[in-house]
C-alpha cells in the first residue's frame, strides 16, 4: 500500500511497457527525479550510477549543458517544422550531411524517423517499395536473427527474435524469418572453435535462403553486437562469413546500429568494429543521447537508386512522419555529435571499456559466472547455477537477484534472463568504472551467499 503518493498514482494510471501490471503493483515504481553525469537520483534522494545509460542510450551523461543549450536555442528559433514533400530546414540538412560524412562505408541519403522501431519498420517498407520498383516484387522476404532486437512496432517486432515480442501478438508477419544467433559461449558445441561456429552460422543462413529461394530474399538484418538479446558479441569471422553468403545471393545488409552507433563499441559504428559493409544503417538512441526521441536511416546508392528512379514510375514514396527530422532532435543530434568528437568519447569508450571489462573478467572465477563478454563500453556477465553444463535452475532467478542487489548497492543494471548487462555512459572515467566493478563484485558475493 503506497497511499496517496507518486508511487500509488503511478500504479493507478501509468501503464508501463515491459512489465506485468500485477507485479508492478507489488514491487512499485522506481521514480527517478534528476540526472547528473553518469548518475541519476530517485525521489528519496538515493544516487545511482546509471550503468545502462537509461536504455543503452544516454552517451554524454544526464545533464550535458551543451545539448540543453542546443535544444533551447533551436526551440527559440524554430521549435517545429516538417520535411514532407519539398519542405526542409537547417538542422535536418546539416545532420543528413554529417551522417553521410561519418558513415563507415560510402552512403548517400538519410531518412528521418522518431524511434528505432519506426526506423526498422520504415526500412522494411523501403525494401518492399524497392522490390516493386525493381520489377522484382517476389524478392521481398527478409531474414533477421533469433535473439535480435529491432523494436516493437509490427514489422520491427517481427524482425525481433525474442519469443515474448511474438507471443500473444501473432507475430512475426509472414515473410520474416529468423536464423541462429551467434552466441558462441552458449551454443558452440564441444570442441568447436569460434571460427567453426561462425561457419555453422553462415551455413544455417545459407540453408534458410535455399529453403525459401534466393530470389525471394531481399535483406538481412543484424545488430553488430546484439543488445537486448543478451549482449551477444559476434565470434571471430562471423560477419565475414555471413556477408559472403549475402553477396552470393544479392541480399542487402541492414545494420541496426541503434545501440552500437556513436561510439559504443569503441569505434563510431559497430559496423567498423566488425568490418560490416551495410547498405542501410539504422540509428537512434545515442544519436541524441535520447534527450529527444529521434532516429535516422542512412542508405547507399545501391539501396536508394531504385527507389528514386522515376522511370520505374510507381509514384510517390508514400511514407513519412510528422516528427521526421524534428528540428529539436536534429539540433541536439548535431551538438551530441560535436561533444562526442571534441571530447574523444569514442576513444574513451575504447579505453575505459577495456579497463571495465578487464576488471569484470576477474569475476569469472565465481561459481555463478559462466561468461564475461563485451567490446568497447558494452559488456555482459552471464550467470549460471552449473558452470559445467552452463545451466540455470530457474530462468531469470540469478539475473533478477543480481539486478536487485546491484540496485540496492547503487548501480542500475539490467538483466535479460540470467545475463546482466553493462552499458554506462560514454563519459565514464576509470575511477567510475572501478566503482561499477566494486558494486558488481559486492553484489555477486551477496547473491553467492543467498543461493
Which residue in the set 35, 91, 172, 227 belongs to the binding site for ligand PLP (CB under 6 A)? 227
Strands (E), 135-181: 141-145, 176-179
Ordered alpha helix ranges (H), 78-166:
90-102, 116-133, 154-159, 163-166
Stretch that binds ligand PLP, among 235-243, 244-252, 253-261, 345-353 (CB under 6 A): 253-261
291: contact with ligand PLP by CB under 6 A = no
Does residue 259 touch ligand PLP according to CB under 6 A? yes
Q: Which is nearer to ligand PLP, 83 or 122 (CB)?
A: 122
Whichever of 119 and 447 has its CB closer to ligand PLP, that residue is 119
Bridge-partner residues for 79, per DSSP? none
For the bound state, the minimum distance from the C-beta of residue 133 to ligand PLP, rounded and expressed in Å, comes to: 26
Which pairs with CB-CB distance under 8 Å and at least 24 residues apart come from 184-187? Answer: 184/235, 185/370, 185/371, 185/373, 185/382, 185/390, 186/382, 186/390
CB 437 within 8 A of CB 359: yes
Residue 288 touches ligand PLP, criterion: CB under 6 A: no
Instruction: Determine, following the binding rule CB under 6 A, whether residue 256 of this chain makes contact with ligand PLP.
Output: yes
Q: Which long-range contacts (CB under 8 A, 24 or more apart) does 369-374 make?
A: 369/444, 370/185, 371/185, 373/185, 373/231, 373/233, 374/231, 374/233, 374/422
Stretch that binds ligand PLP, among 238-246, 252-260, 355-363, 366-374 (CB under 6 A): 252-260
Cβ proximity to ligand PLP: between 228 and 297 the closer is 228
Residue 419 found at the interface with ligand PLP (CB under 6 A): no
Count of residues that bind ligand PLP according to CB under 6 A = 15
**Interacting residue with ligand PLP among 53, 113, 115, 165 (CB under 6 A):** 115
Judge whether 68 and 45 are in contact, CB under 8 Å: no
Which CB sits closer to ligand PLP, 290 or 348?
290
Residue the block writes with cell 525471394: 216
Using CB under 6 A, which of 258, 333, 334, 411 touches ligand PLP? Answer: 258
Cα–Cα distance between 178 and 259 in angstroms, integer?
Answer: 20
Map the footprint of ligand PLP across residues 31-70, applying CB under 6 A.
55
Whether 368 contacts 415, CB under 8 Å: no
Please state, as a whole number, how many other Cβ atoms lie within 10 Å of the Cβ of residue 26.
Answer: 8
Q: According to CB under 6 A, which one of 150, 183, 326, 350 is a site residue for ligand PLP? A: 150
Check residue 117 for interaction with ligand PLP (CB under 6 A): yes
Please state, as a whole number, how many other Cβ atoms lie within 10 Å of the Cβ of residue 32: 15
Rounded Cα gap, residues 72 and 248, in angstroms = 50
- Give the range of 32-40, 127-135, 251-259, 377-385 binding ligand PLP by CB under 6 A: 251-259
User: Which of 121, 206, 223, 335 is the binder for ligand PLP (CB under 6 A)?
Assistant: 223
- Told to check if 116 binds ligand PLP by CB under 6 A, we report yes
- Whether cis (ω within 30° of 0) applies to the bond prior to 136 is no
The residues that touch ligand PLP, with contacts defined as CB under 6 A, are 55, 115-117, 120, 149-151, 223, 227-228, 256, 258-259, 284
Amino acid at each position: 500500500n503506497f497511499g496517496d503518493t507518486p508511487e500509488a498514482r503511478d500504479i493507478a494510471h501509468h501503464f508501463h511497457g515491459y512489465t506485468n501490471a500485477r507485479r508492478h503493483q507489488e514491487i512499485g515504481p522506481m521514480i527517478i527525479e534528476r540526472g547528473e553525469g553518469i548518475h541519476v537520483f530517485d525521489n528519496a534522494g538515493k544516487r545511482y550510477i546509471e550503468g545502462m545509460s537509461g536504455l543503452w542510450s544516454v552517451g554524454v551523461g544526464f545533464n550535458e549543458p551543451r545539448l540543453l543549450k542546443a535544444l533551447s536555442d533551436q526551440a527559440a528559433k524554430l521549435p517545429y517544422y516538417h520535411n514532407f514533400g519539398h519542405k526542409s530546414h537547417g538542422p535536418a540538412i546539416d545532420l543528413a550531411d554529417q551522417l553521410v560524412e561519418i558513415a563507415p562505408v560510402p552512403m548517400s541519403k538519410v531518412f528521418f524517423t522518431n524511434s528505432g522501431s519506426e526506423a526498422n519498420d520504415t526500412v522494411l517498407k523501403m525494401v518492399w517499395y524497392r522490390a516493386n520498383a525493381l520489377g522484382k516484387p517476389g524478392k521481398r522476404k527478409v531474414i533477421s536473427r533469433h535473439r535480435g532486437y529491432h523494436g516493437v512496432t509490427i514489422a520491427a517486432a517481427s524482425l525481433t527474435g525474442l519469443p515474448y515480442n511474438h507471443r500473444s501478438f501473432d507475430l512475426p508477419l509472414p515473410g520474416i524469418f529468423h536464423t541462429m544467433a551467434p552466441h558462441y559461449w552458449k551454443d558452440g558445441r564441444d570442441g568447436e572453435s569460434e571460427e567453426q561456429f561462425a561457419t555453422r552460422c553462415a551455413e544455417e543462413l545459407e540453408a534458410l535462403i535455399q529453403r525459401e529461394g534466393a530470389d525471394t530474399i531481399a535483406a538481412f538484418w543484424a545488430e553488430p553486437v546484439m543488445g537486448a538479446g543478451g549482449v551477444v558479441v559476434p565470434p571471430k569471422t562471423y560477419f565475414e562469413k555471413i556477408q559472403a553468403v549475402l553477396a552470393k545471393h544479392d541480399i542487402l545488409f541492414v545494420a541496426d546500429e541503434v545501440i552500437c552507433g556513436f561510439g559504443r563499441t569503441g569505434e563510431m559504428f559497430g559496423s567498423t568494429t566488425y568490418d560490416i559493409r551495410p547498405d542501410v544503417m539504422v540509428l537512434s538512441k545515442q544519436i541524441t543521447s535520447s534527450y529527444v526521441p529521434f532516429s535516422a536511416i542512412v542508405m547507399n546508392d545501391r539501396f536508394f537508386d531504385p527507389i528514386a528512379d522515376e522511370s520505374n514510375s510507381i509514384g510517390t514514396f508514400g511514407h513519412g512522419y510528422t516528427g521526421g527530422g524534428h528540428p529539436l532532435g536534429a539540433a541536439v543530434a548535431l551538438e551530441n555529435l560535436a561533444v562526442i568528437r571534441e571530447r574523444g568519447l569514442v576513444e574513451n569508450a575504447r579505453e575505459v571499456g577495456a579497463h571495465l571489462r578487464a576488471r569484470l573478467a576477474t569475476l569469472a572465477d565465481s561459481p555463478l559466472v559462466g561468461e564475461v563478454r563485451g567490446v568497447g563500453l558494452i559488456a555482459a556477465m552471464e550467470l549460471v547455477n552449473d558452470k559445467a553444463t552452463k545451466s540455470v535452475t530457474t530462468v531469470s532467478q540469478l539475473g533478477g537477484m543480481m539486478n536487485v542487489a546491484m540496485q540496492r548497492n547503487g548501480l542500475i543494471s539490467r538483466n535479460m534472463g540470467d545475463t546482466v548487462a553493462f552499458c554506462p555512459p560514454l563519459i565514464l572515467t576509470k575511477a567510475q568504472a572501478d566503482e561499477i566493478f566494486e558494486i558488481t563484485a559486492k553484489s555477486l558475493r551477496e547473491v553467492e551467499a543467498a543461493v
